[in-house]
């Protein structure tokens, strides 16, 4: 058909499946196994339904102020969006508008190349080292911007702050975005670097460490000018992206710092224990500082394990892609969930 010539064609990002089986163990999309903060549940019951008649605050002041208080920055330095996917997509549109290719790792969040294709941004990937670490020298070539997650996904590997700073400092003429979706599970945030670098932007999400993937909240922190440009693009796109319940409940989640620390600490403790157990079973993996483990076994192909686990209603993530087809990405759930996973693997391997 003739009209198809004018269609913007894209190959969409493929998210992990969202099955809903009773008794299943869902370790495939890095959600939090614990509920949101208790105040979130209480407030959810109290939200005035009549208030939904009106548009929500387009500036999302309640949520922006809560985040600014928590992270000790000015409200003008905070941008919020419908999940960090929304924040990242808007950032690609806003900051990656040059003719030089943007740079990101070859093994990384698989949404980056999708946005680059969608917005027709030239890009180049830089191969991670054999130990899955970023090679900082790769990011010292001419480029139109840089983005990488820290810790990286799906490897879980954390780069020390010195490496992040080395890359940001070497690229003062472009925007460098650090996607800190998993920083709260034991990483060191690049937030303190904001005082020194006006080309740095940090993106985080409520989906993993704040147990609110279903509410869709993400945010960026950067210098005021950067955030202003991001808002200009956002308000040219859709003014009312953050619905009222998300603003109210998101702000409450940020206020409960004690609960946040408790659940992220618990997940990190479970992760460390599971690392030991997986080692005993013969798995190897890069040392993860995220809420997942990227594991490979010398005897059992990852794809075979993926299907065997799935058959037992234990869902993990597998990609049949170059360099990572021998690995399973296993989200860290509760201790009970992880014990069932380990029990299944132990039995499976005993059978041969």
Ligand X SMILES: *Cc1c(COP(=O)(O)O)cnc(C)c1O
User: Residue numbers of the site for ligand X (CB under 6 A)?
Assistant: 30, 83-85, 109, 149, 153, 179, 181, 205, 207, 213, 218
Q: How far is the CB of 280 from ligand X (least distance, A)?
A: 28
Least distance CB 4 / ligand X (angstroms) = 30
Task: Write down the least CB distance from residue 311 to ligand X, Å.
Answer: 26
Query: Alpha-carbon distance 255 to 68, whole Å?
Result: 11
Closest distance of CB 239 from ligand X, Å: 20
Q: Taking the complex as a whole, how short is the minimal distance between the CB of residue 125 and ligand X, in angstroms?
A: 15
Name the residue nearer to ligand X (CB basis): 32 or 274. 32
- Other C-beta atoms within 10 Å of 179: how many? 29
Strand ranges inside the chain, DSSP E: 25-26, 78-81, 102-105, 123-126, 146-149, 176-179, 200-205, 218-222, 292-295, 314-315, 317-318, 328-331
Please provide residue 205's backbone torsions phi and psi, each rounded to the nearest 5 degrees.
Answer: -140, 155
The conformation of residue 123, written as its DSSP 8-state character, comes to E
Closest-CB residue for ligand X? 83
Q: Which is nearer to ligand X, 213 or 281 (CB)?
A: 213
Q: Which is nearer to ligand X, 84 or 270 (CB)?
A: 84
Please tell me the distance from the alpha carbon of residue 309 to that of residue 311, in angstroms, as a whole number: 5
CB of 114 to ligand X, least distance (A): 12
Nearest distance in Å: CB 276, ligand X: 25
Question: What is the number of H-type helices and E-type strands within the chain?
Answer: 10, 12
Pair 190, 178: CB distance under 8 Å: yes
Report how far residue 227's alpha carbon sits from residue 75's, in angstroms, rounded to the nearest whole number: 10
- If the CB atoms of residues 211 and 345 are measured against ligand X, the closer one turns out to be 211
CA dihedral 227, 230, 231, 232 (to 10 degrees): 120
Q: How far is CA 258 from the centre of its chain?
A: 22
Q: Which is nearer to ligand X, 144 or 149 (CB)?
A: 149
Indicate the residue among 37 and 220 with the shorter CB distance to ligand X: 220
Helix ranges restricted to H, 212-300: 224-234, 244-255, 257-280
Between 151 and 297, whose beta carbon lies closer to ligand X?
Answer: 151
């Amino acid at each position: 058909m003739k009209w198809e010539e004018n269609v913007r064609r894209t190959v969409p990002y493929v998210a992990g499946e969202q099955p809903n089986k009773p008794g299943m163990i869902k370790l495939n999309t890095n959600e939090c196994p614990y509920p949101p903060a208790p105040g979130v549940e209480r407030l959810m019951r109290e939200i005035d339904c009549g208030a939904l008649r009106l548009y929500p605050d387009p500036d999302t002041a309640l949520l922006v102020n809560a985040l600014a208080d928590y992270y000790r920055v000015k409200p003008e330095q905070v941008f919020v969006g419908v999940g960090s996917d929304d924040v990242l997509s808007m950032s690609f549109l806003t900051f990656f508008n040059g003719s030089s290719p943007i740079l990101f790792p070859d093994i990384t969040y698989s949404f980056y190349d999708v946005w680059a294709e969608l917005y027709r941004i030239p890009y180049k990937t830089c191969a991670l080292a054999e130990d899955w670490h970023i090679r900082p020298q790769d990011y010292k070539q001419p480029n139109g911007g840089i983005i990488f997650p820290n810790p990286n996904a799906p490897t879980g590997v954390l780069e020390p702050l010195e490496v992040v700073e080395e890359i940001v400092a070497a690229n003062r003429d472009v925007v460098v975005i650090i996607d800190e979706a998993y920083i709260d599970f034991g990483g060191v945030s690049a937030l303190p670097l904001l005082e020194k670098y006006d080309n740095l932007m940090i993106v985080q999400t409520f989906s993993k460490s704040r147990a609110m993937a279903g509410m869709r909240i993400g945010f960026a922190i950067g210098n005021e000018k950067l955030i202003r440009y991001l808002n200009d693009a956002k308000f040219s796109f859709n003014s009312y992206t953050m619905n009222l319940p998300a603003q109210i409940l998101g702000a409450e989640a940020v206020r409960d710092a004690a609960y946040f620390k408790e659940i992220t600490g618990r997940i990190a403790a479970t992760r460390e224990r599971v690392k030991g157990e997986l080692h005993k079973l013969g798995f190897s993996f890069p040392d993860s500082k995220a809420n997942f483990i990227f594991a490979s076994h010398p005897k059992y192909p990852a794809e075979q394990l993926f299907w065997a686990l799935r058959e037992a209603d234990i869902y993990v993530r597998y990609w049949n892609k170059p360099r990572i087809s021998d690995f399973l990405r296993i989200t860290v759930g509760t201790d009970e969930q992880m014990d069932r996973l380990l029990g299944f693997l132990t039995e499976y391997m005993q059978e041969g």
